Chains A and B, each alone.
Chain A
């Protein structure tokens, strides 16, 4: 009996040891006990450049009308894309339709990432001079009109520690879910996404032994109107030492 009692005490202690670090790790992320800026497991701030090593012909230049290669479009999306008219977009004051988040993050751009406040990460692009605001914590969308960049809710995801381990402070990723878009083009040549699209992004930061830092963003764009299945892509950005190559350029519907 005494043996069983000691075993149960040991087991109870093990439970405490097992869950304590997990709870500690989750508090800042899920419960937002600390401001997101203070709780950041990875530092995404700074200047970053997109490195276009894949799908070059569709990202670095504007592809031909009717080129939807790689995008699981619906028949309805094709109808829309086949009417793409960049001159009309320009003349109607809508040259930025391919600069919403689903298109922007695939574009040949530099990003400048800063903390706007303790719970808002600001992502600016020089390509089209756009601004995305990634809101942490209990932020609620203001209920205003849908917008090009939509409403983004962000969350730090930290590794679940192993038994007996403490939560590592410098590991984790950023999850961002964006909706409430006004609609736009996910590719420069008018391949559309609609107002019900939901963009989910996972931002991971990797530091190489030579000092290079790279962000990898895995994305899933779901759109019941224009995509037959979610569009899965992944893009990369490399850290730059300063703003020397920052080159703000206004939107262009054709280039």
Chain B
């Protein structure tokens, strides 16, 4: 009988608290489908960045040399076709975001938040149960290893054990020693993330990237990446035993941004100083604004009446 009374007390209290709708652990519900409208970094994240465009990236000399050696044909090598991006791609990539949580049924506590995979990336599981990060010698999976804590209404996560990846899709590298701190906030139907990438191998100071989404149940992003199967593509133009690369000093695209947009080379090659306003003084006398945009001038396009240059053809459509 005492057990029954106690049970009825608990049930009554639980029922009333359920009606109040207050969160049990002071958390924000991040779950749902979040659409990337493509207004931030539209070209970099969509079509892809120009080949030698490192402006605004705090890379060191090693990062710059590695990036300059990059040739996009690398990605079509049989053994590299199925390489995933690192968890950093959440704040660097173009996709919508599917977030959900896993709850321990015996305690009703959230064990993890999960950030979906789309394609080209593994699910990032953010462990909320206080477990420690593995030994630094532990295996580095594509997902990395991520833990999280709530700081007010901000979910702060910390990722380690990532694989070698890119901080920009034109070959700017991140090493397997890189870490990622994310501050994830929800403001109504807006989700924003500040991602702080630290890398002792290729960066002189943290690379801070931002991304923003809007809640949209129609975005319909899957949680998991479909299986990847490498295939033999057309025969390569260069010798098959060579890993695609540019030798030091031989990157043919080093002046591309200068030719297309008049951006001085000292800016396109990046470095921490290019992130700050005072860098403008250094290039003021070297930059001449192009008279007219001739390629990739608009997008995303939502107004059907809008005719503009959407690609490299130079034609309005």
In chain A, what residue has the closest Cβ to B23? A162
Taking CB atoms, residues of chain A closer than 8 Å to B290 are 63-64
Q: Is the CB of A51 within 8 A of B151?
A: no
Identify the 8 closest CB pairs spanning chains A and B, nearest first: A171-B152, A162-B26, A108-B277, A70-B42, A67-B293, A228-B302, A7-B12, A218-B192
In A66-80, the 8 Å CB interface with B consists of: 66-75, 78
Report Cα–Cα, A75/B181, bound state, in Å: 40
B239 within 8 A of A: no
Query: Residue A162 contacts which of B5, B25, B190, B308 (CB distance < 8 angstroms)?
Result: B25
- Stretch of A8-16, A91-99, A116-124 with 4 or more beta carbons under 8 angstroms from chain B: A8-16
| Interface 0/1 of A45-56, CB less than 8 Å to B | 000011111111
Assembled-state Cα–Cα distance A165/B153 (Å): 14
Range class of the B interface residue count:
35 or more
- Tell me, rounded to whole Å, the shortest Cβ–Cβ distance linking B156 to chain A: 8
- Which A residues touch B223, using CB under 8 A? none
Bound complex: CA A7 to CA B291 (Å): 77
Instruction: Indicate if A132 sits at the interface (CB-CB under 8 A).
Output: no
Q: Is the CB of A57 within 8 A of B41?
A: no
Digitize B285-317: 1 where CB-to-A-CB distance is under 8 Å, 0 elsewhere: 001011111101111111101111100000000
A235 to B212, CA, bound (A): 10
B306 touches A73 (CB 8 A): yes
> With A206-B194, A214-B194 known to touch, is A74 a contact of B299 (CB < 8 Å)?
no
Chain A nearest CB, measured from B280 CB (Å)? 6
Is B40 on the interface with A (CB-CB < 8 A)? yes
**Looking at the complex, which one of B206, B294, B302 makes contact with A229 (CB distance below 8 Å)?**
B302
Within 8 A of B (CB), among A26-65: 49-57, 60-65
Complex partner residue of A53 from B17, B56, B294, CB under 8 angstroms: B56
Contact of B8 among A3, A75, A255 (CB under 8 A): A3
Q: In B11-30, which residues have CB < 8 Å from any A CB?
A: 11-13, 15-17, 20, 22-27
Across the two chains, which residue of chain B brings its CB closest to A238? B208
A251 at the interface (CB under 8 A from B): no
Is B22 in contact with A163, judged by CB distance below 8 angstroms? yes
Whether, in the assembled complex, A236 has its beta carbon less than 8 Å from a beta carbon of chain B, the answer is: yes
Q: Tell me the complex Cα distance, A232–B37, Å.
A: 7
Chain A residues near B278: list those with CB within 8 A: 245, 247
Verify B40–A53 contact, CB threshold 8 A. no
Which chain A residues border B212 with CB–CB below 8 Å? 218, 232-234
Residue contacts A-B, CB under 8 angstroms, 16 given: A10-B12, A18-B20, A18-B22, A19-B20, A22-B22, A54-B44, A54-B56, A61-B289, A66-B293, A72-B37, A78-B308, A165-B26, A173-B187, A220-B190, A228-B306, A247-B277
Task: Give the residues from 155 to 190 in chain A that come closer than 8 angstroms, CB to CB, to chain B.
Answer: 157-163, 165, 168, 170-173, 175
- Closest Cβ–Cβ distance, residue B49 to chain A (whole Å): 10
Contact between A236 and B154, CB atoms less than 8 A apart? no
Check if B86 is an interface residue, CB within 8 A of chain A. no
How many Å from the CB of B235 to the closest CB on chain A? 36
Contacts of B154 in A (CB 8 A): 171, 204, 206
Which residues of chain B have C-beta atoms less than 8 A from A63's C-beta?
Answer: 261, 289-290, 293
Report the minimal beta-carbon distance from B281 to chain A, rounded to whole angstroms. 9
B183 interfacial contact with A, CB 8 Å: yes
- Asked whether A52 and B276 contact (CB < 8 A) given A7-B8, A73-B303, A74-B303, the answer is yes
- Least Cβ distance of B5 to chain A in Å? 5
Name the one of B16, B275, B306 contacting A75, with C-beta atoms under 8 angstroms: B306
**Contact residues on A (Cβ < 8 Å of other chain), bracket:** 35 or more
Interface pair B208/A64, CB less than 8 Å apart: no
Contact of A68 among B20, B190, B207, B297 (CB under 8 A): B297
Which one of A14, A15, A72, A236 contacts B208 once the chains associate, using CB atoms below 8 Å? Answer: A236
Contact flag A68-B298 (CB < 8 Å), given A206-B194, A216-B192, A233-B39: yes
B183 interface neighbour in A19, A171, A206, Cβ under 8 Å: A206
Q: Which residues of B contact A68 (CB under 8 A)?
A: 293, 297-298, 308
User: B292 near A65 (CB under 8 angstroms)?
Assistant: yes
A254 at the interface (CB under 8 A from B): yes
> Contacts of A62 on B, CB cut-off 8 Å?
289
Inside 8 A of A57's CB, which chain B residues have their CB? 53, 55, 257, 261, 263
User: For residue B44, which residues in chain A have a CB less than 8 angstroms away from its CB?
Assistant: 54
Q: Does A152 contact B (CB under 8 A)?
A: no
Instruction: Say if the beta carbon of A140 comes within 8 Å of chain B.
Output: no
Asked if A4 is an interface residue, CB under 8 A from chain B, the answer is yes
CA distance A208 to B205 in the complex (A): 13
* Beta-carbon contact of A53 and B293 below 8 Å: no
Out of A165, A208, A247, which one reaches B181, CB within 8 Å? A208
Question: Does A202 have its Cβ within 8 Å of any Cβ on chain B?
Answer: yes
User: Which chain B residue has the least Cβ–Cβ distance from A71?
Assistant: B39
A127 with B183: CB separation less than 8 A? no
How far is it, in angstroms, between the C-alpha of A53 and the C-alpha of B214 when the chains are bound? 22
| Cβ-defined contact, B192 with A70, below 8 A | no
Return B193 CB to nearest CB of chain A, in Å.
Answer: 8
Q: Is the CB of B185 within 8 A of A204?
A: yes
B192 x A55 contact (CB < 8 A): no
User: Shortest Cβ distance from A231 into chain B, in angstroms?
Assistant: 6
